Amino acid sequence: MKKFILFAGVSLFPAAVMASIVNTALPVNFSVDASGGYSQRGVSSALKDTPRLGQYGFGISGGYETGPFIFGFCSDFRFINQYSTVKVLVGNTRGTRWNIVSPMAGFRYGAMAAKMDFQFLGNYNLSNKTADNADLSYGRPLGGRVAVYYVTPFSLLIGAYYEHVWFGSEKNSTKNEQVLSQRIGLWQSGLTASLDVF
């Protein structure tokens, strides 16, 4: 009797077939990422205030490799802390941001590598409530990140990045989502590391 194994909880394959698939090198890449750096958020041109922030987080990325290039998707979650003085008219901009999924492209040549993504999903959620005890978040993001890396011999990539995202809507938990007449920008730059899992 042939042995069968369960694959992804859906299909049954002969063990010999699965062994052949596993032993075949597929042109795919999957990595886990971490980053942290300095950040600023532009509140409005009227207030002329740009709170100083710090962002740190983690994520995953994966894609199809063809030659030195890779095309795929990435996702990350980050924490945002405010280090400048909190002003009454602006409030505390501490919060979290989840970039749900973004198309990603990159390349690797020798000991150098680079990745870039285009962000258009997810929200920037503030941790502190408003004066009327409501939750506040910003949505409709539009922007991206660029990172350059040095490739170490241990499948670990170490480098630097720059990211700039503009948010086009504001959502108060007690009100409907409102489209902003002027997008709120959030940029960051810092250090990043990426570990190739396979």
| In the chain, domain spans | 27-196
Q: Give pLDDT, residue 89.
A: 55
Q: What does CATH list as the number for 27-196?
A: 2.40.160.20
pLDDT of residue 5: 37
Residue in 108, 117, 27 with CA at minimum distance from that of residue 73: 117
Could you give the CA distance from residue 176 to residue 97 in angstroms, rounded to a whole number? 20
* Cα separation, 128 vs 98, whole angstroms: 17
Q: What is the DSSP letter of 21?
A: H
For residue 82, the tally of other CB atoms under 10 A from its CB is 20
Q: Which residues of the chain have pLDDT under 70?
A: 1-25, 43-49, 87-91
Q: Could you give the CA distance from residue 173 to residue 101 in angstroms, rounded to a whole number?
A: 24
Q: What is the pTM of this model?
A: 0.79
Question: What is the structure's pLDDT at 128?
Answer: 84
Count of alpha carbons within 13 angstroms of residue 102, beta-carbon side:
27
Q: What pLDDT shows up at residue 2?
A: 39
Q: Any idea which residue has 């698939």 for tokens?
A: 21
The pLDDT value recorded for residue 40 is: 86
pLDDT of residue 158: 97
Q: pLDDT value at position 174?
A: 83
pLDDT of residue 133: 82
